[in-house]
Amino acid sequence: MKRYQELACQIEGLIERGVLKPRMRLPSVRQASRSYGISPSTVFQAYYALERRGLIVARPRSGYFVNCQQPALSRAPILAHSAATQPSSLTHRFMQAMQDCGNVTLASPWPNPELFPLGRLARSLNRAARSMDCGEDTVPMPMGEECLRRQIARRYFTAGMVVPIDEIIITSGALEALTLSLQTLTKPGDIVAIECPTFYAALSALERLHLKFVEIPVDSHEGLDLHALADALERYPIRVCWFMTSYQHPTGVTLSDDKKQALVELLAHHKVPLIEDDVYSELHFGSQPTRPAKRFDRDNLVLHCGSFSKSLAPRYRIGWVAAGSFAPRIARAKWTTTLSASAPAQLAIADYLEHGGYDRFLRKLRVDLMGLQAQMLRAIGDYFPRGTSLVRPEGGYFLWVELPPHVDSVHLFEVAAAHGIAIAPGPIFSATGAFRRYIRLNYGHSWTPAIESAMRTLGALARRFDSSSGQRAAFQQTNI
């Protein structure tokens, strides 16, 4: 990013933190150029950028001053310090509830393991066991087992993408792929662009890596706000983006191909890499799979992270990153963190992909999930208060439910937990503490009487908050 942006960003930080107060005079272009050791034109560009955004004003013959009316930043992305990630305490209470509550299926980040071909997978694990018996080539490899990387490259090829296996690194689940990529491409204090709302583990990772971040709004219909992103890229020296382009977590929204292409081109223009979290890609309800942003990546700036945890084997902890030109750096980082993914799990999944009929299973899984989604939409219609609304996702196993005014999702989370029902309250999905009217529900579990009654209880609890209690949900602004 350019020096003038850096300076503008630094000055904005001083204004935000009240170091530079309204009406204060900024150093003259000449002074600043001397004291920062940069050209006057660079200082001028920075001042001009700040003036354009109403942060400072120029007074003829007297210089630049901090504006007394700072612009309301409204929906525009705001720089946050991960250290200040607020709702993490709520996140811990959420994790606690997951442990304490008898009924966690609604809150779980996982689909029901019973949906997965565990028996068939066990056969593949047996074969893996036999193949490991021979004692050959038993040094752990940072890149991962070649047979598995070959299978993954083959699936890319079928999806119309050519990904060399030397760019594929097997990881301990997609979470390692994402966090290892993030750590490799940043240093502490760097700024990362994430979605708002976003997967809470991303917020924790940013905090752990001492990164700052900008939250880019995600609309439940349209997905990521590219204008806000473009604005953020102008305003901040963003080092890398971490986005979910399909079945976004938690909103479930998917970017259109056009928007994915526009996203890739926008980032390429700024030379900013994209860490693409695409762990739900196999769970599409349409006949055609969605295409990842990586598909439109001409500049090798997209690190595409995938996983088998959501669609095959959660406990095997096998994911990967197709890291493009960053692959050697990621492999070196892998070499000094976890060295290599567990071989039995890698070999078993490679065997399953080759002989197990993954695609046949996935077709069944998608139908199962669609049925379960319909069940939950029906239950919300039956039990939840009027004014409840949502946008039906085209895949995955989460619903992002907007509750009526007056319903506080954190309060609902607390009282539901008291009733032994765990749900995910909206604020854990953003560092801003927003989304207090939203909850995330998981419909990826076989529909049992227990779930039905949990939904009934939850609806009743939600209605208590609501003036128009007793009345059932009527979905506005949804495409159910």
342 binds its own copies (CB under 8 A): yes
Between 124 and 151, name the residue whose CB sits nearer to its own copies.
124
86 binds its own copies (CB under 8 A): no
Structure tokens at 309: 């945890």
Structure tokens at 435: 């989304």
Q: How would you classify residue 402: left for phi > 0, otherwise alpha for psi between -120 and 50, otherwise beta? A: beta
Q: Residue 250: is the preceding peptide bond cis (ω within 30°)?
A: yes
415 binds its own copies (CB under 8 A): no
**What are 66's strand-pairing partners?**
56
- What residues contact residue 417 under an 8 Å CB cut-off, 6+ apart? 97, 100, 101
258 binds its own copies (CB under 8 A): no
Among 18, 62, 74, 114, binds its own copies (CB under 8 A): 114
Among 46, 80, 125, 241, binds its own copies (CB under 8 A): 125
Among 7, 20, 101, 121, binds its own copies (CB under 8 A): 121
Among 333, 365, 391, 431, binds its own copies (CB under 8 A): 333
Residue 257, classified by CB atoms within 10 Å of its CB into exposed (0-12), middle (13-18) or buried (19+), is middle
Cβ proximity of 341 and 307 under 8 Å: no
DSSP run (H or E) holding 354: helix 343-355
- Within residues 203-232, the interface with its own copies by CB under 8 A covers 204-205, 208, 210
Min dist CB 60 to its own copies, Å, is 39
DSSP single-letter state for residue 289: P
Distance CA 183, CA 307 (A): 19
84 binds its own copies (CB under 8 A): no
Min dist CB 260 to its own copies, Å, is 27
Min dist CB 138 to its own copies, Å, is 4
Q: How would you classify residue 63: left for phi > 0, otherwise alpha for psi between -120 and 50, otherwise beta? A: left
Among 110, 354, 392, 460, binds its own copies (CB under 8 A): 110
Between 208 and 464, name the residue whose CB sits nearer to its own copies.
208
Of 295, 304, 247, nearest to 273 (Cα)? 304
Between 54 and 188, name the residue whose CB sits nearer to its own copies.
188
- Written as one letter, the residue type at 189 is G
446 binds its own copies (CB under 8 A): no
Residue 263, classified by CB atoms within 10 Å of its CB into exposed (0-12), middle (13-18) or buried (19+), is buried
**What are 215's strand-pairing partners?**
194
Among 7, 11, 29, 128, binds its own copies (CB under 8 A): 128
Q: Per-residue contact track with its own copies, 290 to 329, x per CB under 8 A?
A: -------------------x----xxxxx-----------
Positions in the binding site for its own copies (CB under 8 A): 92, 95, 108, 110, 113-114, 116, 118-119, 121-123, 125-126, 128-130, 132-135, 138-140, 171-173, 175-176, 179, 183, 187-188, 201, 204-205, 208, 210, 309, 314-318, 332-333, 335-345, 348
